[in-house]
């Protein structure tokens, strides 16, 4: 069936969901459920159907426009190959701010992974992270490494789950190194994955100093949900000279 034919089979709510996705680039299940006065499960079924019909791209917590790189979550290996020099500059700048012997929370993401590799050259860190890839960047002979969580969510080696939130609630760390998917023109720091957003917020609450690691490509973009404002961070590290 053609795309036009598939569209003709949609009910009014599904048609509106598709129209809003195309107009804004993304939609969230939570917002749609509230707007249409239906359950989140009903919206989720609509999105699954629209995704299977090839009309939109489904992701955790919502959906985005097919082919829109601002809303699609890229494969981890692909992400690692993007903006390599920018990530290295961000990593080197972040490391300069962190003294040996500090306690750190490291977020998920390829920019944070680059910082982890640079941090490993120092000694005596007490590391907490929900990123298996970040944890593996450290030599256990020189650092204490604590991996939080049990459930591996994706190819990026990130872990999610309520136990991470409970662990962070009981922690106090010197620094939290936080990544993001986007920083919009109003200075809102945003991400696509709602379960990871909850962990970012908890980590920020547990940290004395909060560092946002963001390459220049993240600025002027939007994602699914804002979890902080740039003013909530002690430093925004973009690798600029």
DSSP state, 155? T
Please give the model's pTM, rounded to 2 decimal places. Answer: 0.69
37, burial (CB in 10 Å: exposed 0-12, middle 13-18, buried 19+): exposed
SS3 112: helix
Q: 63, 21 in Cβ contact below 8 A?
A: yes
Buried-state track 123-136, b at ≥16 Cβ within 10 A, e below 16: eebebbbbbebbbb
Q: What is the pLDDT of residues 180-222, one digit of tens each?
A: 999 999 999 999 888 889 999 999 999 999 999 999 989 998 8
Q: What is the pLDDT of residues 110-160, one digit of tens each?
A: 999 999 999 999 999 999 999 988 998 999 999 999 999 877 776 667 888
Domains of the chain: 3-64 (1.10.10.10), 77-237 (3.40.50.1360)
């Amino acid at each position: 069936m053609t795309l036009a034919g598939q569209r003709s089979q949609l009910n009014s709510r599904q048609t509106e969901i598709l129209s809003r996705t195309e107009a804004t680039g993304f939609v969230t299940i939570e917002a749609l459920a509230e707007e249409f006065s239906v359950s989140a499960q009903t919206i989720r079924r609509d999105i699954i159907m629209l995704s299977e019909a090839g009309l939109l791209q489904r992701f955790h917590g919502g959906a985005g426009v097919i082919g829109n790189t601002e809303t699609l979550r890229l494969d981890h290996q692909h992400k690692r190959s993007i903006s390599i020099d920018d990530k290295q500059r961000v990593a080197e700048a972040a490391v300069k701010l962190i003294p040996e012997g500090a306690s750190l929370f490291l977020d998920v993401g390829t920019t944070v992974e680059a910082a982890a590799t640079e941090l490993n050259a120092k000694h005596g860190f007490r590391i907490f992270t929900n990123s298996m890839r970040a944890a593996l960047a450290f030599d256990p002979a020189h650092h204490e490494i604590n991996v939080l969580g049990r459930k591996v969510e994706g190819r990026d080696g990130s872990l999610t789950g309520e136990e991470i939130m409970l662990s962070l609630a009981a922690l106090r760390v010197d620094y939290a190194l936080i990544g993001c998917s986007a920083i919009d023109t109003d200075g809102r720091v945003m991400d696509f994955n709602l379960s990871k957003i909850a962990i970012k917020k908890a980590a920020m609450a547990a940290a004395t100093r909060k560092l946002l690691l963001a390459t220049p490509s993240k600025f002027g973009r939007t994602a699914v949900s804002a979890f902080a404002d740039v003013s909530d961070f002690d430093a925004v590290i973009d690798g600029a000279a």
